[in-house]
Chains A and B, each alone.
Chain A
């Protein structure tokens, strides 16, 4: 079972933490040999295409598919009223955490769950018909030949409008447009008491518009039936859960589904929601069409179709904060209104990460005529958004250095640092002050002491205004999940890690191989992992929630330790000594007391084999050990008994052109306490990579719906703009290693945090530059000019 506490290494680090290790998947990816689902071609394969609603809210009155069915090359048509599809809804599984459960399945908590129905609740929703044809072009042509008579209905795009008592009700049968959420009210302490104790009260309103994953590889699946056996190629983070759900939904025994999970072109949570329509929906349609046509069916969305959801932080936030003159925050009260999905309420980092005693958050979610929303690197966006803005408003209102205000409030669930010190000591961690270390490192890297200044106070020689800002939060210590893997020693002494695992680019396999190398005493280059096939029986934790290494590091570590014990037991017979008198290093087994007495692993395992021919009798079973690990306790916001100990600090420097409203980022510093960096280059990759995503979100990334028609206007990567190489400077990445993570060897997660924390930081930086607030994200030049009173409208 999972035990809370520090993971103290029991062996010497050779590969772990070393720079310059050859990236495990590097050559395959650089040489173009890495295969993604989109690349795979199965003989006789058909291509599926589904109809998307052109209207924001409409119902099919009449649909004629006869012309489409008659088109040469069309091999299968499924209509919403066909028995195979009618009434089929998205579903979760009885196994698994709440969000995977049937009640929560579907359109990221939207109330209607039909996979392919006759009514569309947002523009772009799949409705009516799906076809399979010899080519994608024929399938698209078939959809153009479908005659549909639509009945259009009114729509609502704005959450606050949707929650008005007299608003039109969007979901049939619902009493209002409010989406129920068990986190609607969060309350700790007494905010009224906290406001009374305060020297000042600050109020603010902030807004964030919807943005998108926009991963590189389009969502895709291939389904192929062979009798009653189903073979699938999926682009998903969690193929095992996906298979479980599909099995229950279509009544196919799990053992009859053989799933391949090739390389994955990004995800960021996009391919991480097995009960949702973009995953479960695609799978069900592909599987049913493959059954109907008796041919393999590939279903790949095109780029426009991938704008089928958004980030779960499309929100308006009203905050009220009480603080003392020295920067101590006494109370925070929020009301946050979300469109479609409240990814996180907005207050949780104050709980996880501060000693602020009085907190209250009302989080309301409105059903609107937009697509489903869910986690998008990552679900903590609302929490980070509110945290950054509240802290900056407090520091600026009091004229204090924001880094000092952070240190003044650091803590956990209303407790101060003394509480955390006691926890660290009890659980075997060193008592280091992570936030102070991150702040010191970051301040130095950006030259804070010399450059920071009061708002609107520094005009540069080039005429632009100079601004700086800082924010912070805890580490991504939501390292939780469950995985299994085996470690097997081959007859030549090389080692295989056996387990399915979906790679989305965060270089996990290098880290697993490093861990097995050090735990087993084998060279890095003598170890491989074959993660593409789910039917090998073991599956590592999916790469979501920054959980890759936090769970899987323990899995492969345990499996390697067990394999090592088996190996040494076997070796003991050959050396004629006790197993504990032996050790392994770099693939050589030796007697500790007499290192010259040694054998290679190959010499020891030469009689231990999983398979050989009938002519020879082998005397030993293979050296193969498997392990399972579950990490964390699966809850959000202060996991009981496991406070977050690592911190992170981010700094930014900008120049603002007050004539054009343009903001240029000149420097970014990410100081991240990752506990222990198993692969430092990988940690840095998540930091500078996350900074590009974060800045794109801050400046340009937004989905724009036409208020008159409810149609999404920028369904492509020319009009939905994210960072290119020349838009922002590379972040200065500072790795802090305190060993305070709950993951293996004291590590903690890094995959999500920079991209999630950085976006809101632009608001404070802009304020520091021009002395006027723009808390409306993304922050475009037009919004800056408006804040400065320089638009035509302002000039009258």
Chain B
């Protein structure tokens, strides 16, 4: 039986070659200077300002990657299916549900979690403490990330706009009235600082 030909695949353009030497020659001439493409399952993303290059399985959710693999435990699993907002992270400026997002689709994305929001000294953290905007605290990171994304695009939100933005976040302890207070005060601090 004839040996399988064209077994060497160019990782840049997927052209097939019979020998490794032929592939090498092609790569060096046709693709000289191009960045080495990522192997399958490898993604590059930025989380809280840190660059990651990481191999993921196709079934991993972004929540699993962030919470279980990277060890950033703030995005919490609560409802298991996109009903509660506790796993919210900010992706390219938008709050998204990390439990409903596949990690493998996040190549090239920039992500923020509460750990990152706290690290840069965002005023939301202290205004949340001040207004007791948490009880058991399990859902709190999801609220803070949603609020931070809101303030990034709307530095002066009304209470109505805040309530609308947070309508998808469940809190079983019922801390709801304290969130608009904390967010409006954080917005004021940011405006005073001119950020």
The 3 closest A-B pairs by CB, nearest first: A32-B74, A29-B137, A505-B136
Query: What would be 28 A-B contacts, judged by CB atoms less than 8 Å apart?
Result: A22-B130, A30-B124, A30-B133, A31-B115, A32-B72, A32-B74, A32-B118, A39-B76, A41-B68, A216-B138, A216-B170, A263-B138, A303-B78, A303-B79, A505-B136, A505-B173, A681-B132, A685-B173, A685-B178, A689-B135, A689-B175, A690-B174, A692-B176, A693-B172, A717-B83, A724-B176, A725-B176, A726-B164
Q: Using an 8 Å CB-CB cutoff, how does the interface string of B155-194 with A read, 1 for contact, 0 for none?
A: 0000000011011111111111111000000000000000
Cross-chain contact B73 with A39 (CB below 8 angstroms): yes
Known interface pairs A216-B78, A724-B168; 20 further A-B residue pairs with C-beta atoms within 8 A, sorted by A's residue number: A26-B130, A27-B125, A30-B124, A30-B137, A31-B74, A32-B72, A32-B74, A32-B115, A32-B140, A35-B73, A216-B84, A217-B78, A503-B136, A505-B137, A689-B173, A693-B172, A718-B81, A718-B83, A724-B170, A725-B163
Complex contacts, B79 vs chain A, CB 8 Å: 303, 716-718
Complex contacts, B136 vs chain A, CB 8 Å: 215-217, 263-267, 503-505
Q: Is B77 an interface residue (CB 8 A)?
A: yes
Complex contacts, B130 vs chain A, CB 8 Å: 22, 26
Q: Is A137 an interface residue (CB 8 A)?
A: yes
> Which one of B71, B74, B115, B117 has the greatest number of beta carbons of chain A within 10 Å?
B74
Cross-chain contact A688 with B138 (CB below 8 angstroms): no
Complex contacts, B133 vs chain A, CB 8 Å: 30
Q: Is A450 an interface residue (CB 8 A)?
A: no
A window 684-700: CB within 8 A of B: 685, 688-693
Cross-chain contact B114 with A32 (CB below 8 angstroms): yes
Cross-chain contact A682 with B132 (CB below 8 angstroms): yes
Minimum Cβ distance to chain B for residue A459 (Å):
27
Cross-chain contact A692 with B174 (CB below 8 angstroms): yes
B window 4-47: CB within 8 A of A: none
Given A692-B174, A718-B81; A265-B114 close (CB under 8 Å): no
Out of A25, A218, A693, name the residue touching B137 (CB < 8 Å).
A25
Minimum Cβ distance to chain A for residue B181 (Å):
10
> Which one of A263, A264, A265, A716 has the greatest number of beta carbons of chain B within 10 Å?
A265
In angstroms, Cα B80 to Cα A142, docked, is 20
Q: Is B97 an interface residue (CB 8 A)?
A: no
Complex contacts, B126 vs chain A, CB 8 Å: 27, 30
Out of B76, B140, B141, B164, name the residue touching A38 (CB < 8 Å).
B76
A window 649-689: CB within 8 A of B: 681-682, 685, 688-689
Q: Is B94 an interface residue (CB 8 A)?
A: no
Minimum Cβ distance to chain A for residue B92 (Å):
20
Complex contacts, A503 vs chain B, CB 8 Å: 136
Q: Using an 8 Å CB-CB cutoff, how does the interface string of A153-183 with B read, 1 for contact, 0 for none?
A: 0000000000000000000000000000000
Q: Is A302 an interface residue (CB 8 A)?
A: yes
Complex contacts, A716 vs chain B, CB 8 Å: 79-81, 83
Q: Is A304 an interface residue (CB 8 A)?
A: yes
Cross-chain contact B138 with A266 (CB below 8 angstroms): yes
B window 122-156: CB within 8 A of A: 124-126, 128-130, 132-141, 144
In angstroms, Cα B86 to Cα A32, docked, is 11
Cross-chain contact A26 with B134 (CB below 8 angstroms): yes
Q: Is B3 an interface residue (CB 8 A)?
A: no
Complex contacts, B163 vs chain A, CB 8 Å: 725-726
Q: Using an 8 Å CB-CB cutoff, how does the interface string of A701-735 with B read, 1 for contact, 0 for none?
A: 00000000000000011100011111000100000
Q: Is A618 an interface residue (CB 8 A)?
A: no
Cross-chain contact B67 with A26 (CB below 8 angstroms): no
Closest B residue to A724 by beta carbon equals B167
A window 299-321: CB within 8 A of B: 302-304
B window 65-103: CB within 8 A of A: 67-68, 71-74, 76-81, 83-84, 86
**Interface secondary structure of B, over-half rule:** loop
Complex contacts, A27 vs chain B, CB 8 Å: 125-126, 129
Out of A34, A505, A717, name the residue touching B170 (CB < 8 Å).
A717
Cross-chain contact B129 with A22 (CB below 8 angstroms): yes
Q: Is A423 an interface residue (CB 8 A)?
A: no
Given A30-B125, A303-B79; A217-B176 close (CB under 8 Å): no
Cross-chain contact B138 with A30 (CB below 8 angstroms): no
Minimum Cβ distance to chain B for residue A591 (Å):
38
Closest B residue to A503 by beta carbon equals B136
Cross-chain contact A214 with B172 (CB below 8 angstroms): yes
Out of A38, A263, A693, name the residue touching B77 (CB < 8 Å).
A38
Cross-chain contact A265 with B174 (CB below 8 angstroms): no
In angstroms, Cα B176 to Cα A685, docked, is 10
Complex contacts, B125 vs chain A, CB 8 Å: 27, 30-31
Complex contacts, A150 vs chain B, CB 8 Å: none
Q: Is B59 an interface residue (CB 8 A)?
A: yes
Complex contacts, B67 vs chain A, CB 8 Å: 39
In angstroms, Cα B79 to Cα A135, docked, is 19
Cross-chain contact A266 with B172 (CB below 8 angstroms): yes
Q: Is A23 an interface residue (CB 8 A)?
A: yes
Complex contacts, B71 vs chain A, CB 8 Å: 41
Complex contacts, B77 vs chain A, CB 8 Å: 38, 218
In angstroms, Cα B174 to Cα A722, docked, is 10
Complex contacts, A23 vs chain B, CB 8 Å: 129, 132, 134
Given A685-B175, A725-B179; A26-B135 close (CB under 8 Å): no
Closest B residue to A34 by beta carbon equals B137
Closest A residue to B180 by beta carbon equals A725
Minimum Cβ distance to chain B for residue A712 (Å):
16
Cross-chain contact B59 with A303 (CB below 8 angstroms): no
Minimum Cβ distance to chain B for residue A728 (Å):
9
Out of B73, B80, B166, name the residue touching A32 (CB < 8 Å).
B73
In angstroms, Cα B44 to Cα A83, docked, is 50
Closest A residue to B166 by beta carbon equals A725
A window 22-51: CB within 8 A of B: 22-23, 25-36, 38-39, 41
Cross-chain contact B115 with A304 (CB below 8 angstroms): no
Given A217-B78, A265-B78, A303-B79; A730-B177 close (CB under 8 Å): yes
Cross-chain contact A725 with B115 (CB below 8 angstroms): no
A window 358-402: CB within 8 A of B: none
Given A26-B132, A725-B163; A216-B86 close (CB under 8 Å): yes
Cross-chain contact B76 with A265 (CB below 8 angstroms): yes
Cross-chain contact B172 with A216 (CB below 8 angstroms): yes
Minimum Cβ distance to chain B for residue A528 (Å):
16
Complex contacts, B124 vs chain A, CB 8 Å: 30
Cross-chain contact B172 with A215 (CB below 8 angstroms): yes
Closest A residue to B84 by beta carbon equals A717
Given A32-B114, A265-B136; A723-B129 close (CB under 8 Å): no
Cross-chain contact A505 with B74 (CB below 8 angstroms): no
Q: Is A283 an interface residue (CB 8 A)?
A: no
Minimum Cβ distance to chain B for residue A36 (Å):
6
Complex contacts, B84 vs chain A, CB 8 Å: 216, 717
Q: Is A280 an interface residue (CB 8 A)?
A: no
Minimum Cβ distance to chain A for residue B186 (Å):
11
In angstroms, Cα B136 to Cα A260, docked, is 17
Q: Is A146 an interface residue (CB 8 A)?
A: no
Minimum Cβ distance to chain B for residue A61 (Å):
32
Q: Is A756 an interface residue (CB 8 A)?
A: no
Q: Using an 8 Å CB-CB cutoff, how does the interface string of A491-505 with B read, 1 for contact, 0 for none?
A: 000000000000111
In angstroms, Cα B124 to Cα A30, docked, is 9
Complex contacts, A263 vs chain B, CB 8 Å: 136-138
Complex contacts, A206 vs chain B, CB 8 Å: none
Given A216-B76, A505-B173, A693-B172; A28-B137 close (CB under 8 Å): yes
Q: Is A506 an interface residue (CB 8 A)?
A: yes
Minimum Cβ distance to chain B for residue A102 (Å):
31
Complex contacts, A688 vs chain B, CB 8 Å: 174, 176-177
Q: Is A507 an interface residue (CB 8 A)?
A: yes
Q: Using an 8 Å CB-CB cutoff, how does the interface string of A2-37 with B read, 1 for contact, 0 for none?
A: 000000000000000000001101111111111110
Complex contacts, A689 vs chain B, CB 8 Å: 135, 173-175
Cross-chain contact B115 with A30 (CB below 8 angstroms): no
In angstroms, Cα B59 to Cα A137, docked, is 10
Complex contacts, B115 vs chain A, CB 8 Å: 31-33
